[in-house]
Amino acid sequence: MTAKVLDGKATAAEIKAELKERVTALREQGVVPGLGTILVGDDPGSQWYVAGKHRDCAEVGIASIRRDLPADISQAELEAVIEDLNDDPDCTGFIVQLPLPPHIDTDAILELVDPAKDADGLHPTNLGRLVLNVNRPITTPLPCTPRGVIELMLRHGIELNGKHVVVVGRGVTVGRAIGSLLTRREYNATVTLTHTGTVDLDGILRSADVIVAAAGVAGLVTADNVKPGAIVLDVGVSRVEDPVTGKSKVAGDVADDVAEVAAWVSPNPGGVGPMTRALLLQNVVESAERALA
């Protein structure tokens, strides 16, 4: 068996094409969606991520609002920037690029974001509403990466109803949020969340219809602990040394040999990553649509 590819690049391109039409419709009604980004310091990785998000905005017609700030900014000064974007009618959604410098209280900063403008979908208010809402339509921003994981499967014709999904990793970005989404009645999956304290991880993985690997441990999921025909999504990111060049390179959580037993595998990079960025844009567009309604 050779696994079929869950192509995040192609699927994200489809979503962005759809969003471009929705942005055009909003512009015709006098509304221009705007994505704000707050970048503190000059970390190259963070700069690269933020630049990519603004390139995505340009593709679909979303306005870009950048706030690039010095690394030594004070807590009060950063909070003032948050309040500025909360009050800015041209900003329909924004993100605070993480990590922030150690002298900044990150939790306090994130909680200051207006939940209606929470482009990442990770504000405590929005996560709480997600947990409470099992049946009704969602009318608040949703966490981008879990939403991207689900959308990637749905758009490849994968049915989630009744599936046993095993999530590896309990981080807030994926692990702690995706179960609340997948167990909503519209998807109706059963979710097991695993982490470093889990006993017999291999056995639990072998019971999974779907594996979402988001631990940030290179090669954690191998062919030996994947059930034949399972669906495997590689979400984790870590850096390993290339034995040939000696240079570090990005690695996912899923080993190459998984493709020999799985039915579907998402590549890393090129799988869930592009989907996360596309769903970030979708959160911004949906916030603009809700504000207009």
Distance (Å, whole) CA 42 – CA 68: 9
Higher pLDDT: 105 or 242? It is 105
Burial environment of residue 291 by CB neighbours within 10 A (0 to 12, 13 to 18, 19 or more): middle
Question: What's the structural domain count of the chain?
Answer: 2
- Looking at 7, 16, 53, 227, which residue is catalytic? 53
Q: What is the DSSP letter of 9?
A: H
Same domain membership, residue 160 and residue 79:
no
Percent of the chain with pLDDT over 90: 90
Same domain membership, residue 150 and residue 81:
no
CATH code, domain with 196: 3.40.50.720
Q: Where are the alpha helices (DSSP H) in the chain?
A: 8-28, 44-60, 75-87, 106-112, 124-132, 144-154, 175-182, 201-206, 272-292
Distance (Å, whole) CA 265 – CA 58: 30
What type of residue sits at position 162?
A: G
pLDDT value, residue 243: 79
Distance (Å, whole) CA 39 – CA 37: 6
Q: Is 219 annotated as a binding residue?
A: no
Is 53 designated active site? yes
Is 283 within the bounds of a domain? Answer: no
Distance (Å, whole) CA 156 – CA 57: 25
CATH code, domain with 74: 3.40.50.10860
Tokens of 162: 């009744």
pLDDT value, residue 249: 81
Is 133 within the bounds of a domain? Answer: no
Is 290 within the bounds of a domain? Answer: no
pLDDT value, residue 1: 65
Q: What tens digit of pLDDT does each residue of 28-82 get? A: 999 999 999 999 999 888 898 899 999 999 999 999 999 999 999 999 999 999 9
Distances (CA, A) of 191 to 205, 207, 211: 12, 12, 10
Is 42 designated active site? no
Same domain membership, residue 244 and residue 183:
yes
Domain that holds residue 169: 143-274
Q: Is 199 annotated as a binding residue?
A: no
Instruction: Please tell me the least confidently modeled range out of 107-116, 133-142, 161-170, 233-242.
Output: 233-242
Is 97 designated active site? yes
Sign of CA dihedral 249, 250, 252, 253: positive
Q: What is the DSSP letter of 116?
A: G
- Looking at 7, 16, 56, 97, which residue is catalytic? 97
